[in-house]
Chain A
Amino acid sequence: MQLSEILKNEHVLLDVNVDSRETCIDELTKLMEKTGVVSDSAVYKDAVLKREEEGSTGIGFGVAIPHGKSSGVEEAGLAFARLSDEIDWQSLDGKPVKSVFLIAIPEEKAGNEHLQILSQLSRKLMHEDFRNKLLQATSSDELIAALDE
């Protein structure tokens, strides 16, 4: 099982322009709705925004990982956006955000393998060289390959 199986090519936005955290989540949700990962975008978005209320998912270092576990999700999925202009995410370190991972987890029996992968992604995000790769990738293929390394 590889990260690329849940981070599909169609789930990647490179150098996209969004003006707020909510539009960013909207854009990424649309991508996952198209591929059938998210079946009910309104329900899913509620879960994601509720999680943001509990505490910002801006983890610092210019990265945010909004996520939601919701019945509006068919199967585990991951979407990525690299923003052309940094936006505010009320991050832990107070800095604006450049890279956003949106994570979708189904309410019932989320497969363990998927969760394992997401936990590995979370661990990788704590490493600077990995974050740099996100910023340097020139295509979605290159980005997905970097994730799987």
Chain B
Amino acid sequence: MKKLLAVTACPTGIAHTFMAAEALDQAAKAKDVSLKVETRGSVGAENELTEEEILEAHAIILAVDTNVDEDRFEGKNVIRVGVSEAIKDPSGLIDRVLEMEEKSADEYVEQVQNKKKEKGAERQGFYKHLMNGVSFMIPLVVAGGLLIALSFVFGIDAAENEGSLAYYLMETGGAAFSLMVPILAGYIAYSIADKPGLAPGLVGGMLAEQVEAGFLGGIIAGFLAGYVALLIKKYFKVPRNLEGIMPVLVIPFFATLITGLLMFYIINDPVAGIMGGLENWLQSMTGANAFILGLVLGGMMAIDMGGPVNKTAYAFAVGLLASEIYGPMAAVMAAGMTPPLGLWLATVIAKKRFTNEEQEAGKAASVLGISFITEGAIPFAAADPLRVIPSLVAGSAVAGSLAMIFEAALRVPHGGVFVLFIPNAVTNVLLYALAIAIGTVVTALFVVLLKRNSPQAKAAQANE
């Protein structure tokens, strides 16, 4: 069924806004059309439209006599009329928007990407700082991972031959890897305290790297450095005419000093211990444990499709790349690809379960899926969360645990299907592809099993 949205607003925002809303509601009810109306009266916006609803909507009716923010409807069918027209002829207005052409799948992909951007902008607090660090670290992981993988092309021991091309590739990749933790820590601190946080953060990260406290040490160093710098900025007062030396001298010196000493005296040993334990456990992990880790990481990737839980699993796997542990990364990427891929497969094998728009969206989801953009599944999940999300979690958990059991290893933190063709970027590449395929099929089967037929298909059946 086509979903419609509307916004009503009038100059005083007392009467017409609400009459138009009521008129549209009634007309939609009479036609059995799904319609949600946001009223922007003098009480403020009520019954506000959410991003998800806008994404799913066939069209938006703007019955407004004032300026309303239309940016959020970009890429959608929009019809703009005066508020009185919605009061006079609500039913004609609804007919007009129902006749509008469906927007294409390309625009849909664009919307998903815009959505990702907006989500990034909304992040707050701890999560925002962490993700800032992770996003600056990722290019290093990609470059390092691919260079090391490339050095193996010359034979698995080729890099041991000093002065050979394989050796240089390995060294360059290794340099990129050794910068991962310092950059992670530096840009967490930068996110917290701005420029004065960067130096202490980088140094703290470097110290964590040296004692092999890994990404966990890097995260702690980053937050420590950031908040120490922030506190100094706030509470350390210098005479007015000396204020200029605060950001260039006082904060970097004291923040770095304090961070460094805290790292040595308090943080490094226990965290290096924890990291060592974690690494040993992950490396020696086989059978049931590997299966469970894959299951959990996989499920986390699907449960909120790009939200905090998904990003936590992702950050965990990326962080482990710094410790040269590649299995969880493989599990996480496989599990992040299956939600959109599985939905695409479901739209192909069971057309009746989906509206025409969803079948179109399925094609776009397949492209997003092979590119490891889990967010491609969001519109489907938003439309029918109770049936879709469990299906996605099941498929992703299967893909994640199979990737772990097959001992697939992924040296780069992104790339989707395309990294499978880069030599040595993925170990056990055929089994890995199989894990993704099985996860996709499981997702699709669950979706088909749980979802009901779409209203269109029901109507067609009733006619037979």
Interface residues of A (CB under 8 A from B): 51, 54-55, 57, 59-60, 65, 67-69, 92-93, 103, 105, 110, 112, 115-116, 118-127
Contacts and interface: CB of A to CB of B under 8 A. Distances in A.
B19 A67 contact: no
B158 to A, nearest CB: 73
Contacts of A92: 84, 87-88
A59 B22 CA distance: 13
B409 to A, nearest CB: 59
B65 interface: yes
Interface residues of B, number: 21
22 contacts: A54-B65, A55-B82, A59-B16, A67-B12, A92-B87, A93-B88, A105-B14, A105-B42, A115-B43, A116-B43, A119-B15, A119-B17, A119-B41, A119-B43, A120-B18, A122-B16, A122-B18, A122-B22, A123-B18, A123-B19, A125-B22, A126-B19
A102 B87 CA distance: 19
Interface of B: 11-12, 14-19, 21-23, 26, 39, 41-43, 65, 82, 84, 87-88
A123 B12 contact: no
A122 B88 contact: no
A118 B84 contact: no
Given A60-B88, A92-B84, A93-B88, A119 B14 contact: yes
A125 B12 CA distance: 17
B77 to A, nearest CB: 25
A126 B26 contact: yes
Contacts of A126: 19, 22-23, 26, 87
B11 A51 contact: yes
B14 A55 contact: no
A147 B380 CA distance: 43
Contacts of A54: 11, 65
Contacts of B41: 115, 119
A79 B39 CA distance: 24
A122 B21 CA distance: 10
B15 A110 contact: no
B88 A118 contact: no
Contacts of B18: 119-120, 122-123
A126 B28 CA distance: 14
Most chain A beta-carbon neighbours within 10 Å: one of B16, B21, B82: B16
A103 B88 contact: no
A122 to B, nearest CB: 4
Given A69-B14, A93-B88, A115 B42 contact: yes
Contacts of A57: 15-16
B175 to A, nearest CB: 61
Q: Which 8 A-B pairs have the closest CB atoms?
A: A122-B18, A126-B22, A123-B22, A119-B18, A122-B15, A115-B43, A122-B19, A65-B15
Nearest to B82: A55
B12 A60 contact: no
A36 B18 CA distance: 27
Given A60-B87, A93-B88, A118 B15 contact: yes
A119 B8 CA distance: 12
B14 A122 contact: yes
Contact of A51 (B12, B21, B84): B12
A103 B22 CA distance: 19
A80 to B, nearest CB: 14
A69 to B, nearest CB: 6
A55 B19 contact: no
B88 to A, nearest CB: 5
A103 B42 CA distance: 14
A54 B22 CA distance: 22
Contacts of A110: 42
Contacts of A123: 18-19, 21-22
Given A60-B87, A92-B84, A118-B14, A125 B19 contact: yes
